[in-house]
Homo-oligomer: A and B are copies of this chain.
Amino acid sequence: MKIVFIGAGNVATHLAWALKYQGHDIVQIYSRTKPSAQKLALKINTEFCTSLELLKEADMYIYAIADNALKSVISRLEFSSGMHIHTAGSVSIDVFENKFHNYGVLYPLQTFSKEKDVDFSVIPIFVEGNNEATTDVLFSIANSLSVKTFKATSDERIRLHIAAVFACNFTNYFYTIASELVQKSNIPFEILEPLIAETASKIKTLTPFDAQTGPARRNDVVTMNKQYDMIEDENQKLIYKFISSCITDKYKK
């Protein structure tokens, strides 16, 4: 099966590499910008283009582009052949409706950065096809990549994506705040690594509700006030106060 990638960002880079590694035939990488198209094409050892008119004929087109770019890219394609698959958590399968005959979604629930390798075999992959044949193909591709494949409707996928935003994106932002706070004291961020690792690991044996520790859970007002006063950044102060009060409220009940 010949696959064309539309997009050359974080998701495209990891997904294309994992597919190539599993023996799939990636015949072309499209990206608006030449450097990123070229870079991924080189990595995958395939061709690239920067114009949608130059897309090759293929069995499958995998869209790994910004959610808000999907509609416009789809509308600009002038053919209806092939299977069209996007990878976005928060975009409905219907974005392809009335344009193609076979389409679907393959959503890997993971955070991808180009510079960081990931083990695709443990990543949960959620698939959705507009018909049984497409769903079957998607499952067969997903199963070649990971041992954790599931069917999910667009609605379920969007809810999953919101949960992922809290569990990953927002969490990582708090790592950034923590790094800013320790660096102010000339302490290297690495010092927090065992704590971060244990926090993430704890929830494999305890529910996050039971794993909660810290001043807010204990409703330790003296410590919270002291910490609040020591935080200098206004946004960090607001976050500290609000999240602490949410936690305290949750455990008072």
- Tell me the A residues contacting B by CB distance below 8 Å: 10, 66-68, 90-91, 109-113, 115-116, 118, 122-124, 148, 150, 156, 158-179, 181-182, 184-185, 187, 189, 191-218, 220-223, 226-227, 230-231, 235-236, 238-240, 242-243, 246-247, 250
* Contact among B10, B67, B174, B209 for A170, CB-based, below 8 A: B174
Q: Are B246 and A191 in contact (CB under 8 A)?
A: no
A213 x B168 contact (CB < 8 A): yes
Given A164-B195, A222-B68, check contact A207 B230 (CB 8 Å): no
Find out whether the CB atom of A206 lies under 8 angstroms from the CB atom of B168. Answer: no
- Pair A169/B247 contact, Cβ less than 8 Å: yes
User: Chain B residues near A112 (CB, 8 Å)?
Assistant: 213
Q: How far is the CA of A236 from the CA of B110 in the complex (A)?
A: 22
Chain B contacts of A205 at CB under 8 A?
Answer: 115-116
Asked whether, in the complex, the Cβ of A124 is within 8 Å of the Cβ of B191, the reply is yes
Distance in angstroms between the alpha carbons of A251 and B29 in the assembled complex: 27
Do A195 and B227 contact each other (CB < 8 Å), given the known contacts A160-B185, A166-B178, A215-B90?
no
Copies of this chain, count = 2
- Residue numbers in B under 8 Å from A226 (CB-CB): 90, 158
Tell me what chain A mostly uses at the interface: helix, strand, loop, or mixed. Answer: helix
Chain B residues whose CB sits within 8 angstroms of the CB of A182 once the complex forms:
159-160, 163
B243 touches A199 (CB 8 A): no
Enumerate chain B residues within 8 angstroms of A67, measured Cβ to Cβ: 215, 220, 222-223
Given known contacts A213-B169, A220-B66, A242-B239, is B175 in contact with A203 (CB within 8 Å)? yes
A74 and B39 CA atoms in complex are apart in Å by: 64
Query: Which residues of chain B have C-beta atoms less than 8 A from A207's C-beta?
Result: 179, 189
Chain B contacts of A110 at CB under 8 A? 194-195, 198
Q: Please name the residue on chain B nearest to A169 by beta carbon.
A: B214
B159 near A118 with CB under 8 A, answer no
Q: Does the CB pair B162–A166 fall under 8 Å?
A: no
Closest B residue to A216 using CB positions = B169
C-alpha spacing A227/B160, complex, angstroms: 10
Smallest CB separation, A229 vs chain B (Å): 10
Give the complex CA separation of A120 and B124 in angstroms: 32
